[in-house]
Structure 1
Amino acid sequence: MILRGTAQPIVADSVFGDSHGLEIHTVAAGSARGAAEKGEVIPWDMVRAVEGQSGGTGLAEFLEIGEDLWRARIRIERGDAALAQAELAKHWSRFRDADGPTAALVAEGLLRCALSAGDLRAAADPWLACLRHRGMGIASRFPTLPPAIDASNGLLPELSPFMPASRRAELIGACESAKASGESGEVARSIVRIAKGVRISAPSGVPGSGPELGLESGNDPAKESSPALRALGLLEDIASAADVRSLDKAVGSFDRAFEEPPSYLSAWRIAAIGTCRARIARTAPVVAGAAASDRAGALGRAALEFLAVPASGLDRTGLVDAYALEEAASLLRESGDESSAAQLAVLAEQKLQDITHSSGR
């Protein structure tokens, strides 16, 4: 067996090939790579040729696929994601639900291509596959490049649940159409709930459950075992809190869980607080004798919560900033401050234009 980038062949007693890669059962000592462990799986993009008897079917086909994937990997590493996308896309159906290092390359490669093009819809499915591979302990196939996803929890900063109106349907559609199950499927559903503003209802006949009634997502065993679900669950608790007391409790839970959160997660936290404050201000019951200025003041204070997002400088994607500016403009418009609302609407539109220009869309 000859690997790409090496001149010395690897000698094996037998090999077996499938969608995971080429599995080496034994290797003679003294080769350039030394004695490989029994059962080592080599991804197809690393295999240039195999000679002699081998197990598995379609070995020639996998070698051809491996050449495509090798070419795509090299192009991404050189910064030419646009040319790599077509090579990866034609093999996505084969590797979409597969495991192993070869499938991990296809998923992460397509994710990087989508992010390079600013295509959120195309990013969702491969990202969720990457999340699944991460949970299985499969390392990134692009170790020399900056991480595409958060190494601490698997979240994707570009796919924030707090999206401006023009991108929200795209995000929701991408997550809802993604073929993901297990942890990845739960992550997709959580993002959709937050983006739609759907509050988790208490189970029938179980008083006091649900985040708006004081159940912290951090206490859910499934979310405890998944860093991505835990982070999203805590954000969901903040965004869906029923009142100020519940909001303060949810924010406290988040802050205890993430003493030093990454910048994008801090931006999401502020956006979640603004989302909750806006809903509370809009749905507060009208008290007899209260002046109209009281409601206007509450709406204005909620708008200030949103403006803390762009003021923080934490959002590197620009999408959460745009969301916050749009929401703040809407709140000020409802409060009667048309002039300030118009100014913020212009800033939000400019932010979206900058995002579109930078991604080339």
Structure 2
Amino acid sequence: MFGLALSAGAGVLGAEPREEAGVAEASDIDRAEVRLLGRVEPLLGKVEEASFEALSLRVDGATVEIGWDRVVRMSGPGAEKAAEFLELAEKAWRSRQRLERGDFVLAEAGFEELFGVYAGRLGPTAQAVAEGALRCRLRRGAHASAIGPWLMLLQAGGGGRPVFDGVPAVVDPETGLCPAIPPIWTETTGVRQLAERGITLPSGVEPTDERAALLGAWYRYAASATVGERQDRPSNSDDPSVRLIAELVLAQHGTGVERSENRDRLRQRLDRSRAGRAQTPAWLEAWIYAAIGRSLVRENDEAERLRGVVTMLHLPARFADEQPFLAGLCLAEAAEAMDELGRGETAGLLRAELRRRYPGHPAGDDAPNGRGPIRGVTMNSPRAGGGQDH
């Protein structure tokens, strides 16, 4: 409830607390008093360790690791061990408090500063900082640069239940993927920067977790293919989430044979879901329809391209609430495909629908920079569903 990570053994986050044989419980006189954000009563426990990653207390026979984003103040025995971290703690808990009350502008300033320090680290504070930076970047539509905090959240051991109180999950607990960041790009400044410079992380920080590194590589590869930059293809993996992202990317950007093979793999995922053999959340179903549709409109056969248009139109018809940006993108790309097929009247109707439902969408012909379909800048409008960086 209060974001405490309980460990039965040193460094084991999330385990059920148990009393360790031979460990004497601290008496009241040995206990520090820790005031936590969002908790009325102080937490009493013996300070075992205060580190950059967390405050470790002995409470009722278990080790409790508390992220600094929860620690408002401390007093009593052992509090001096935490003294050097309290300034950092204040910045962390204030940023957390601002995010939870909806003040994303001020929250982002704090989380961005902390992300420069905590990116690549483990533990509850690193998780809170990464998730805070991720939520703030997504809030302002910086989807390409949000990949870095997302990967650091996974690497820090997060991505299960939300770190913050009163907010929906930003990462799917089953897959570790972020529903707000599909591997489906349009050419924007942020996407080009992702292609040319890689994942946006503080200097010297790289994903060391194999899954996080491979996910980041596939997202960059998709961005590079989108803007026409050449990149070495990442390796695949036995990890189910990496395999899924690879299928989505290769369906859009592979060779003709690879596109066909990966469309089939994605369709099989939908078939298993329809048959009740697997569960496909709405956000993922939307990703799959978008990837298959974008893949089909790249083919030469007119009938396949028309099927691609119909497939993409599932997005505005069925997934507009779950994936508004993708819904608008699919409308724009369906219109472009119909133009190329010589069906200008239908293309015009689709563009009118895009303007009506998603005014100012980055892929629309009313994008603020006037660059026209597919190549606009990001928008912060909820109607546009965010964008892919400025």
**So what's the TM-score if we normalise by structure 2?**
0.69
- Bigger shift: 250-259 or 78-87? 250-259
Offset at residue 348 of structure 1 (A): 4.1
Partner of 1:3: 35
Alignment RMSD: 3.5
Partner of 1:254: 269
Offset at residue 192 of structure 1 (A): 2.9
Partner of 1:309: 315
CA contact (8 A) 2:185 2:222 kept: no
Q: Structure 2 counterpart of 1:339, which letter?
A: E
1:45 matched to 2:52? The reply is no
- Bigger shift: 149-158 or 300-309? 300-309
Q: Measured at CA, do residues 325 and 165 of structure 1 come closer, stay the same or move farther in structure 2, by a change above 3 Å?
A: farther
Offset at residue 138 of structure 1 (A): 7.0
Q: Structure 1 counterpart of 2:285, which letter?
A: S
CA contact (8 A) 1:309 1:315 kept: no
Listed as ranges, the matches of 1:93-112 within 5 Å are 93-112=116-135
Q: Structure 2 counterpart of 1:338, which letter?
A: G
Q: Structure 2: how far apart are the matches of 1:251 and 1:103? A: 34
Q: Structure 1 counterpart of 2:83, which letter?
A: A
Q: Which string of whole-angstrom CA distances, capped at 9 and with x for unpartnered residues, describes residues 81-120 of structure 1? A: 2221112222222111111001111111111222222222
Offset at residue 143 of structure 1 (A): 4.3
Listed as ranges, the matches of 1:112-127 within 5 Å are 112-127=135-150
Partner of 2:207: 180
Q: Which string of whole-angstrom CA distances, capped at 9 and with x for unpartnered residues, describes residues 228-272 of structure 1? A: 323213323543473586356323442366533111111111111
Q: Which string of whole-angstrom CA distances, capped at 9 and with x for unpartnered residues, describes residues 134-161 of structure 1? A: 46x8753214321112222121122112
Partner of 1:242: 256
- Bigger shift: 117-126 or 244-253? 244-253
Partner of 1:163: 185
Q: Which string of whole-angstrom CA distances, capped at 9 and with x for unpartnered residues, describes residues 275-308 of structure 1? A: 2212222xxxxxxxxxxxxx55554343333223
Q: Structure 1: how far apart are the matches of 2:45 and 2:264? A: 61
Partner of 1:322: 328
Q: Structure 1 counterpart of 2:341, which letter?
A: S
Q: Structure 2 counterpart of 1:42, which letter?
A: I
Partner of 2:218: 190
Q: Structure 1 counterpart of 2:121, which letter?
A: A
Q: Specify every segment of 5 or more residues in structure 1 that has no aligned partner in the other structure, as ranges.
A: 28-34, 204-209, 211-216, 282-294
Q: Structure 1: how far apart are the matches of 2:255 and 2:48? A: 56
Q: Measured at CA, do residues 52 and 201 of structure 1 come closer, stay the same or move farther in structure 2, by a change above 3 Å?
A: closer
Partner of 1:289: none
Partner of 1:333: 339
Q: Measured at CA, do residues 320 and 248 of structure 1 come closer, stay the same or move farther in structure 2, by a change above 3 Å?
A: closer
Q: Which string of whole-angstrom CA distances, capped at 9 and with x for unpartnered residues, describes residues 61-93 of structure 1? A: 311111111111122122222221112222222
Partner of 2:167: 145
1:231 matched to 2:244? The reply is yes
Q: Structure 2 counterpart of 1:3, which letter?
A: R
**So what's the TM-score if we normalise by structure 1?**
0.74
1:16 to 49, 53, 56: 49
CA contact (8 A) 2:270 2:285 kept: no
Q: Structure 1 counterpart of 2:44, which letter?
A: I
CA contact (8 A) 1:107 1:130 kept: yes
Q: Structure 1: how far apart are the matches of 2:165 and 2:143? A: 23
CA contact (8 A) 1:164 1:319 kept: no
Moved over 6 A (4+): 198-203
Partner of 2:360: 353
Q: Structure 2: how far apart are the matches of 1:159 and 1:146? A: 15
Which protein is richer in helix relative to its size? 1
Question: Identity, % of aligned pairs?
Answer: 25
CA contact (8 A) 1:16 1:55 kept: no
CA contact (8 A) 1:328 1:344 kept: yes
Q: Which string of whole-angstrom CA distances, capped at 9 and with x for unpartnered residues, describes residues 5-40 of structure 1? A: 35556242x53221211123x45xxxxxxx1414x3
- Bigger shift: 63-72 or 41-50? 41-50
Partner of 1:32: none
- Bigger shift: 312-321 or 40-49? 312-321
Q: Structure 2: how far apart are the matches of 1:175 and 1:82? A: 25
Q: Structure 2: how far apart are the matches of 1:82 and 1:334? A: 42
Q: Measured at CA, do residues 173 and 245 of structure 1 come closer, stay the same or move farther in structure 2, by a change above 3 Å?
A: closer
- Bigger shift: 99-108 or 168-177? 168-177
Q: Structure 1: how far apart are the matches of 2:315 and 2:194? A: 20
How many pairs are equivalent?
Answer: 317
Partner of 2:297: 278
CA contact (8 A) 1:162 1:323 kept: no
